Amino acid sequence: MSKMLFKNMLRDIGRTKARFISIMLIIMLGVGFLVGVNSTAPSMYAVVDEYYADKNLMDFRLISTVGFSEEDVKAVENTEGVEDVMPSYFCDVLTKGDTGSVIRLHAIPKKFGDYKEINSLTLKEGRMPQAPNETVIGASRFGDYELGDTISFFSPTEDADLSQMLSVTEFKIVGVVDSPLYISFERGSTNVGSGKVSAYMMIPMESFCADRYTDLYVTFGELRGLEPYSEEYSDLRDKLGERLELTSDTRVQTFVREEVESAQASIDEAKATLQSERSKAEKGFAEAQDELDAGRKALQEETSSAQKTLAAAKEKIDAGALELHSGKEEFAAEIAKAQQDIENTEAQLKKGEEEISNAKKDMKEGILSVAQKFGISREQIEAFYGEKDMLSAEDVESVAAYARIYKVSVEAQLKEAEEDLDLLLAQLKAQGIDPAENPKYISALELRDALSEKLFALLDFIDNGASQLLLAVETIATQESTLNTAKAQLSEATAALDAEIQQAEKKFAQAEAELESAWEEYTLGVKALETNQKEAEALLEKAQQEIDSKSAEAESEFEKAEEELKKAQQELDSIPEPQWLCNTRDSSPGYSSYEDDVERVTAVGKVFPIFFLLVAVLVCVTTMTRLIEEQRSDLGAFTTLGYRKSSITAKYIAYCISATVVGSAVGILLGIFSIPFVIFNAYRMLYSSLPKLVLTVDAGSAVIAIVVAMLCTSGVAYLTCRSLLRKEPATLLRPKAPKPGKRIFLEHVGFIWSRLGFFSKVTVRNIFRYKVRFFMTVLGVAGCTALIVAAFGLYGSINDVIDKQFGKVFTYDAVAAVDSDTSEAEFKEHFMSDSRIDSAVRCRQTLVAVNSTERGYYDDTYICVPENMQEFEKMVHLQQRKGGDKIEIGTKGVVLSEKLARNMGVWVGDKVSVVEKGVKVRPEVVGICENYLYGYVYMSPELYAEYFGEAPEYNVVMFTKAEDADILSDAMAEEFLAKDFVRGISFVEDSIKAFSEMIGSLNYVVLVMLVCAGALAFVVLYNLTNINIAERKREISTLKVLGFKDTETSAYIYRENLLLSLLGTGAGLVLGVWLLRFIISTVEIDMLMFGREIHFTVFIISAVLTLVFAAIVNIIMHFRIKKIDMVESMKSVE
Amino acid sequence: MNLVEFRDVKKYYKMGEVTIKAVDGISFSIEKGSFTVVVGSSGAGKTTVLNILGGMDSCTEGQVLVDGRDISKLSEKELVLFRRHEIGFVFQFYNLIQNLTARENVELATQICKDTIDAEKALQSVGLADRMDNFPAQLSGGEQQRVSIARALAKKPKLLLCDEPTGALDYNTGRNILKLLQKRSREDGLTVVLITHNTAITPMADRVIKMGSGKIVSDTINEHPVSVDDIEW
């Protein structure tokens, strides 16, 4: 290719930017998708390869039914080829209150000797345990717990003692880890509790106290460097496993010899020792008892004699007291009489005193009344009296003296008064006034009379009164002295009596005191006796108790020892058949499902990208053909100028290759940096412990994709150029004769054609005119629709699992796990008669191994044996998926769930093996029922009893709530869990929630598919419409000149697009159904059956979405059409 | 009465730094029912004039009156309707839709107009009554141009614009086409504006406008137009 041609090519690229870019884009999409999807599987393998190597994942995990001793470990170490060995512990425990979830406890990996640590952990949060009571929990099931929570563990079986295994049973969660043993959310199964391990936790080695290791991790040097899932690895591993089997056989024999037999001997010996010790002890106790009984008798005798002595003393005291009492009474009577006499005398004396005092009072009154008349004032009299109550003889003399003095004054006054009277009489007579009538005279007369009277009285007193008074005074004084003498006598008598009384009282007191002291003595005696007795009794009692407790203690000790021996015997007897299980990595939960998942991605990778690449190539073909056709005159010019055909062709090939190379390069980059990450991240929701993706590009597919893309585009360029260059240059220089119009077959079908409108006719004819474009558009649009149908269909199918499983198949509201020995009465009392429960049925439901041939077992398969068919049918609807015919379990055989039956390849009438409780039976399949989640084998209780020789032990209760009962609450769960026979309860609502979360990751896949669908639709439609417009520029501009509006012009073109899109959509809907079926059969895992129906809405949404994509492209194109210049129409045809 | 009037119309194109004056201030008028020929060499600006007149391009300055309406002021949408109802256009390369028959090509125009001539009648009037159901590829150049004319006439335009209608045809066929155009103009009173670089055909026109370098060189009225049959070139 010459320089000019190269320049010309670069200019072409610049000129046909849109076309170049669209070739680039479609190549990018196709190649990118192919390489991206194909790189996903190798990348996903690379991740685990590195992860397992990094964590030194074990190649074998030996588990022994009897544990491993140090010698066992040594034997394994010495097995040829073994690189690292790490003994460890694990055990399954239950958490309380948490529906009895089973937790698997592992010891935190720890270097053993000089060996490397195996199965190293990754700390994700918190810290590693530092104390024996700290634990870390496996990450993906971390949700139920929080850092810092304390969790208690309980033994999963009643007869096993957790303390034999664990030194601590209460742990604090201090961290979150990932273990390479658990790469997915799966936690494996167990033979205790619900049968499923719900979480694993890692505790320090020291927290285990078992004397034998429970598991032994082993790696082999020869296996390092082999890819984990490769055949080389599994072949070599199987060979190495045989060596371990040999070691195991030897060690098992040694165990039987050393452990079991010697243990039996030591138990027997201990039994004999116990027996002799026991009889010796019993004899000792009997002797002690006898001694004690003798002591008790002696005490009784002593007590009774003391009691007698005391009784005599008491009698004496009582007699003394009586005597004293009568003496006292007599004396009291005498005293009373004497006191009466004294009182009488006192009364007489008082009377005499009163008389004297009255006489004195009378005398004073008399003196006072008289004294005034004699001119002695009351005060004067009182002064005489002073303190006294009677006047003395001198006083009377003094009073008489006063009277005499007063008599002289009265005599003078009388004389004066008489003189005055006489004078007045004279005066009156002189005046002629009758004196009798004159008041002055009358008053003067009266005054004289009064005075004379006074005088007479005075004279009387002086002569008689004074002497009489003296006499009276003397009499009274005599009487008084007599009285005083009597008084003195009385007081003497009283004093004598008092003295007598005092004396008597003294005597009595003495007697009483004597009695009192005697009583005290007596009571002291009584008390002393009592105390003595009590003390002695207490001593005896204590001695008795001592004997009793000691003997009981000894007895219990013996019993304990006996029990222990019995237990030891039982334990020895219960030691399972010693056996070593040689587990490989495949036994780690999630290990092999990872491979399945990667293979699923590979399967998808084989179909999708090829489809994309096909479309890409077809788009390139049309684009390139058009490009070269457009440049026919250039081709002619070059040829005329003498350029070689090969160099002209090379120019176009170079154009193609540059578009392809750039597109592929960008596509591969985008593809490998998006698709593996999106898919892996979706899977990481399941395999959360895996580290980030290690990108491993599938170079093979990249090379193939680029080569195919290049071959196709440049091949098209070559072929087109060749066919053009074969023509004469002159022909090339002339414009290409436009493709002649043609009638289409439809025009001959008059009744349809005549009915079409003008524009419809044009459209139909145009569609058939450009056949390649027709095919391409339909294919592209169909691909887009198919992808959308598949995406939404998948989404719907996944969601159907929940809707149908819990809406159609299972209609109970909750399941309670109960102890298998729960009685029917308990069941009736707690479930049937609960008003909140509408109906309930007991079932036996447990994980079982089911298979048809020797093809292996299926995970998550349950046997379900309902007790009461009528109630059961209300809650579990066994029916055929197609047609919905009801299936009876019957007594002839079992009903299998659909997916399980399909996995095993069995049909009605075939026989399957069911292993329950170690018994293998082969019932016939009588029905296959609709079921989406897990696998079920339904069996009637009659058949169960027939097969296993005993009635089923019902261990779950399914129930529906009464219509208005609010049963699905935590409170309800707690209430049920509080019943001691209920081990757990789970509500369907919670199951739905949990499952929804689990399948949520698949929504990313749906999203990826939708994005791809959109991208496909855009690129294809854009490209084809672009070519269409380019080819018809002249036509379009002519229409514009003719006066077509922009919208009419666009519509003229779009009618074709719309029709093609509709055809493509229709084809896509059909294609989508196939695609969906393919995806479902590829993606579905054993425990799930996706819904098989495609909802009608999926078709509607897919069609609408496709048409929306088409519409968007057309809207963009509308602006291109608008931009076409009408001047184009003037140009000559090129 | 003037159907068309150009008043100092200018059309400049900017090509980077350079301004190209495609039409540089021209004024002329065309009477209704007349047959006008615009002649000039390549690049004289005659096509630009035709484009502006046909509502396919706008002028930079000046007024273009068609039937009293200034089309230079019209919006995009109004221009579409202007083209649809008032203009008939005949292309040099016929611009028939290859996938449509002769009749359908005419119908393509009549579909979007209200007052139209029936497609069959239009084709009859150009002498193609018996080729109506043929595809363009089955027709000769002259026949294709007749279809193109029929398509333009079927819309009953006020103004028929022809862009070198004989440019791609041989001599005799070209004459026939010109004859047809002249006949339609004479008989139906159709206003025709024809662009050509061939000055030889100017005698058939009522009016001849000569252009050069975007300006009008001469604008002459032909008092006695001759029939096409009398012209030789």
Contact list in B for residue A741 (CB cut-off 8 A) is: 97-101, 135-137
Distance CA A248, CA A581 (A): 9
Tens digits of per-residue pLDDT, A255-280?
888 777 777 888 888 888 888 888 88
Indicate whether A963 and A879 sit together in one domain: yes
Task: Name the residue of chain A whose CA is nearest to B133's CA.
Answer: A743
Distance from CA of A783 to the nearest CA of B (A): 29
The reply to whether A804 and A823 lie within a common domain is no
> Cβ contacts of residue A125 below 8 Å, gap of 6+?
A139, A147, A175, A176
Contact A936, A897 (CB under 8 A): yes
- Across the beta sheet with B35-39, the strand order is B87-90, B159-163, B191-196, B35-39, B207-212, B215-221
CA distance B37 to chain A (A): 18
What is the arithmetic mean of pLDDT over A142-149? 72
Are A780 and A838 part of one and the same domain?
no
Reported ipTM: the value is: 0.89
Looking at the fold, whether A899 and A1044 belong to one and the same domain comes out as no
Determine, yes or no, domain membership for A860: yes
Which residues of A, range 1041-1080, sit inside 8 Å of B by Cβ?
1041-1046, 1048
Please, which residues bridge with residue B210 across strands? B39, B218
Whether A1030 shows a pLDDT value over 70: the answer reads yes
Q: Which two tokens stand for residue A112?
A: 């053993």
**Exposed / middle / buried, residue B134 (Cβ in 10 Å: 0-12, 13-18, 19+):** middle
pLDDT in tens, A917-975: 667 888 999 999 999 888 899 999 999 998 888 888 888 899 888 877 765 566 677 77
| Residue A92 covered by a domain | yes
The proportion of chain A whose per-residue pLDDT surpasses 70, expressed as a percent, equals 94
pLDDT surpassing 70 at residue A1055: yes
Q: Which one of A276-290, A404-418, A636-650, B144-158 scores highest in mean pLDDT?
A: B144-158
Per-residue pLDDT at A99: 47
A113: left (phi over 0), alpha (psi -120 to 50) or beta: left
Give the chain A residue whose CA is nearest to the CA of B160: A1042
Question: Could you tell me the residue ranges of all domains in chain B?
Answer: 2-230
Work out the widest C-alpha separation in chain A, in whole angstroms: 221
**pLDDT tens, residue by residue, A526-560:** 888 888 888 888 888 888 888 888 888 888 888 88
Is residue A819 domain-shared with residue A806, that is, in the same domain? no
User: Which of the four pLDDT bands, split at 50, 70 and 90, describes residue A774?
Assistant: confident
- With CB atoms and an 8 Å threshold, state whether A1132 touches B87: no
> Three-state DSSP class for A497?
helix
CB A871 within 8 A of CB A892: no
A1132/B51 Cβ within 8 A: no
Q: What is the DSSP letter of A259?
A: I
> CB–CB of A1132 and B92 under 8 A?
yes
Sheet holding A924-929, edge to edge: A924-929, A893-897, A935-938, A861-866, A837-847, A956-961, A814-818, A982-987
State the nearest Cα–Cα gap between A1039 and chain B, in angstroms.
9
Let me know whether A928 and A1059 are in one domain: no
- A71 with A214, same domain? yes
Which residues in chain A have Cβ-Cβ distances shorter than 8 Å to B103? none
Task: Establish if A765 touches chain B: CB-CB under 8 angstroms.
Answer: yes
Which whole number is the average pLDDT over A187-197? 67
Identity of the residue in A740, A741, A1127 whose CB atom sits nearest the CB atom of B51: A1127
Give B207→chain A minimum CA distance, Å: 24
Dihedral over alpha carbons A130, A132, A133, A137 (to 10 degrees):
70
In the structure, what pLDDT confidence band is assigned to residue A313 with cuts at 50, 70 and 90?
confident
Interval A799-815: pLDDT, tens: 888 888 888 899 998 88
B-chain CB neighbours of A1133 within 8 Å are 93
Of the candidates A738, A762, A1034, which has its C-beta nearest B100's C-beta?
A762
Q: Is residue A42 part of a domain?
A: no
Q: How many whole angstroms separate alpha carbon A127 and alpha carbon A121?
A: 12
Interchain proximity A740–B109, CB inside 8 Å? no
A68 and A214 share one domain: yes
The top-level CATH class assigned to B2-230 is alpha beta
The pLDDT value recorded for residue A107 is 92
Instruction: Rank A815-829, A970-984, A988-1002, A1041-1055 by mean pLDDT and report only the highest.
Output: A1041-1055
The CA distance from B153 to the nearest CA of chain A, in Å, is 11
Contact of A742 with chain B, judged by CB distance below 8 Å, is answered with: yes
Q: Is residue A1080 part of a domain?
A: yes
Same domain membership, residue A1019 and residue A903 = no
pLDDT (tens digit per residue) in B96-151: 888 888 988 898 888 888 888 898 988 998 888 888 888 888 888 889 988 999 99
- Do A122 and A160 lie in one domain? The reply is yes
A196: pLDDT strictly greater than 70:
no
Closest CA to A50 of A867, A696, A660: A696
Q: Which of B87, B89, B135 sits opposite A741 (nearest CB)?
A: B135
Q: Taking CB atoms and an 8 Å limit, are B99 and A741 in contact across chains?
A: yes
Q: According to the model, what pLDDT value does residue A1134 have? A: 46
Same domain, A790 and A879: no
Interfacial A residues in 681-740 facing B (CB < 8 Å): 737-740
Which of A765, A1045, A1129 is closest, CB to CB, to B80?
A1045
Q: State residue A986's pLDDT score.
A: 79
Has residue A855 got a pLDDT over 60?
no
pLDDT tens column, A688-740: 788 888 888 888 888 988 888 888 888 888 888 888 888 777 777 776 666 67
CA A591 to chain centre: 31
Helix (H) or strand (E) holding A689: none
Is A884 inside a domain boundary? yes
Any domain includes A1064? yes
* Average pLDDT, integer, range A416-420: 85
Residue in B closest to A1131 by C-alpha: B93
Say if residue A98's pLDDT is above 50: no
Query: Is the Cβ pair A1042, B108 closer than 8 Å?
Result: yes
Check B89 against A1045: CB less than 8 A apart: no
Is A743 part of a structural domain of the chain?
no
Q: Which residues of B touch A1128 (CB under 8 A)?
A: none
> A360 and A469 in contact (C-beta within 8 Å)?
no
pLDDT (tens digit per residue) in A110-139: 888 888 899 999 998 889 999 988 999 887
Contact A1043 B107 (CB under 8 A): no
Give domain status of residue A829, yes or no.
yes
Are the beta carbons of A761 and B112 separated by less than 8 Å? no
The two most distant CA atoms of chain B are separated, in Å, by 55
Q: Which domain holds residue A861?
A: 814-967
Position A934 scores a pLDDT of: 84
- Residues A843 and A958 placed together within one structural domain of the fold: yes
* Chain A neighbors of B137, CB-CB under 8 A: 737-738, 740-741
Counted domains in chain A? 3
The confidence score (pLDDT) of residue A453 equals: 84
Do the Cβ atoms of A1117 and A1026 come closer than 8 Å?
A: yes
- In the structure encoding, which two tokens stand for residue B216, read together? 């009008």
CB A418 within 8 A of CB A448: yes
> Around Cβ A628, how many Cβ atoms within 10 Å?
26
pLDDT top residue among A1105 and A1083: A1105
In the three-class reduction of DSSP (H, G, I as helix; E, B as strand; rest coil), residue A224 is classed as coil
Q: Is residue A854 predicted with pLDDT exceeding 70?
A: no
Q: Mean pLDDT of all residues in chain A?
A: 83
Model confidence, pTM: 0.62
Instruction: Give the nearest partner residue to B98 out of A740, A1039, A1041, using CB atoms.
Output: A740
